[in-house]
């Protein structure tokens, strides 16, 4: 597991421990099996968007709680942070073909600015 997946798994562990819950209690609150939670925590399984949404709802944390450390939200100004939050919410609602169009455009824009389009996945 790497990048965002690893960060999400670490945040799940951090959240569970900060609430003083065992894996079993955490799993029960989310409606998952203990094996599922253990698999997320040890990296054998990737948390799904649905899993993240369940955690957000059950524990009242934000999506930024999971992705903020990975993309460095702490190091940018509030205006850009709000823009990223808004974009994140919109992206969650978009269809796959629309996402592909946006990625294609971002790759072209990046290459025009001297950044390899290959870095945008």
Tens of pLDDT, residues 45-87: 888 878 888 898 899 887 777 766 656 666 677 787 778 778 8
Least trusted range by pLDDT, from 2-6, 42-46, 53-57, 93-97:
2-6
pLDDT for 118 = 63
**Residues, the chain, total?**
121
Higher pLDDT: 13 or 92? It is 13
Third-level CATH fold of 1-74: 434 Repressor (Amino-terminal Domain) (1.10.260)
pTM for the model: 0.56
What value, to the nearest 5°, has the Cα angle with vertex 15 and ends 18 and 65? 130
- Tell me the domain boundaries of the chain: 1-74, 76-121
Residue 1's alpha-carbon distances to 6, 23, 33, 69, in angstroms, are: 6, 20, 21, 16
């Amino acid at each position: 597991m790497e990048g965002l997946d690893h960060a999400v798994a670490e945040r799940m562990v951090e959240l569970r421990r900060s609430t003083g819950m065992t894996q079993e209690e955490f799993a029960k609150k989310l409606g998952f099996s203990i094996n599922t939670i253990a698999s997320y925590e040890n990296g054998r399984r990737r948390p799904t968007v649905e899993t993240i949404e369940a955690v957000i709802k059950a524990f009242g944390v934000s999506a930024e709680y999971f992705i903020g450390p990975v993309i460095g939200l702490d190091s940018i100004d509030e205006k850009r942070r709000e823009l990223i939050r808004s974009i994140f919410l919109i992206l969650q609602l978009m269809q796959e073909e629309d996402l592909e169009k946006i990625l294609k455009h971002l790759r072209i824009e990046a290459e025009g600015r001297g950044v390899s389009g290959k870095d945008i996945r």
